[in-house]
Amino acid sequence: MINKKYLKLLRSKDRKYGENFIYNEISKNIIDSLDILKVPFNNILQLGINDNLVINYLNEKFPSCSITSADIDISLFPIKTDQKLIEIDMDNLQFRNNKFDLIFSNFFIQLTSNFEKLIKNIFQNLNSNGLFIATIPNTENIYQLVNSMYETDNILYGGMYQRINPILDTNDIFKLLKLYSFDAPLINSNNFSIEYSVFKKLLDDVRFLNLSYAGYDKRNFFENKKYFIYLEEQFKKKYYKENFKLDINFNTICAWKK
């Protein structure tokens, strides 16, 4: 179960909105998918405010469209005259009967405590012939860092702690899309690699992805400097070759409401 108060704290921190390289690279998969479509989208919902690329693309392609951006905390984001910002509960999406032609999300919907209810709510908030498209991390995402954390836990604590939020299996997501009557759902696996010369820069980029475990049973204190020294050593042992290499593995979900 996700600790919503803690998760909101994570989202409210300075996340360098629009400046994160990883978010921007993942966004390109949403743009590429939308670019081949000839369908006009007039009323659009963004779940999770993570980058500018998709928003800029949609405004250029559909100049008269209306875009609503929703997040669990909107205090970070400056309100613009042409932008609608709303604060939401991920487990209980309500938009006062406002229906959308397009609902998209970039590395955000995995933060819900109830993925099945979220999929159901997204379906209900789409117009007929509406499109849902989203990216989420898959089970192999940033495996180099995650495995290094487990090794560090074993050394320092004699056991392993949950370090990232659980990720649904692709087959389970597909079944949920079919269960709630999405038409012709597709889930594609994507990946790219980044190399860092400085380990701290790798950690900074990952931190902005909000992948840290946010369950109620998480460790109730932050790791000290010693932990990160050991973590860098463990990473080097298995995954370092001239630079620190990190693999970003994610799924792109695409489904229509007919």
CB contact at 8 A, 69 and 48: no
Q: Could you tell me the residue ranges of all domains in the chain?
A: 4-257
pLDDT at 97: 64
CATH class of the domain defined by 4-257: alpha beta
User: What amino acid is encoded at 87 in this protein?
Assistant: E
Q: Report how far apart the first and last C-alpha atoms of the chain are (Å, whole number).
A: 32
Is the pTM value of this prediction over 0.85?
Answer: yes
Q: 25 CB contacts (<8 Å, ≥6 apart)?
A: 192, 248
> Which phi and psi angles does 86 have, rounded to 5°?
-135, 150
Exposed/middle/buried for residue 218 (C-beta within 10 Å: 0-12, 13-18, 19+) = middle
Q: Which residue in the block uniquely carries the two structure tokens 């995954």? A: 239
Residue-wise pLDDT tens digits, 37-85: 989 999 999 999 888 899 999 999 999 999 999 988 877 666 654 668 8
Residue-wise pLDDT tens digits, 198-254: 999 999 888 888 788 777 777 766 788 999 999 999 999 999 999 999 999 999 999
Residue-wise pLDDT tens digits, 138-170: 999 999 999 999 999 999 999 988 888 888 889
pLDDT at 14: 54
Geometric angle at alpha carbon 45, from 62 and 178, rounded to 5° = 110
Q: Please report, for the chain, how many H helices and E strands are present, in that order.
A: 8, 8
The residues facing 106 across adjacent strands are 135
Helix axes 199-207, 225-239, angle to 10 degrees: 110
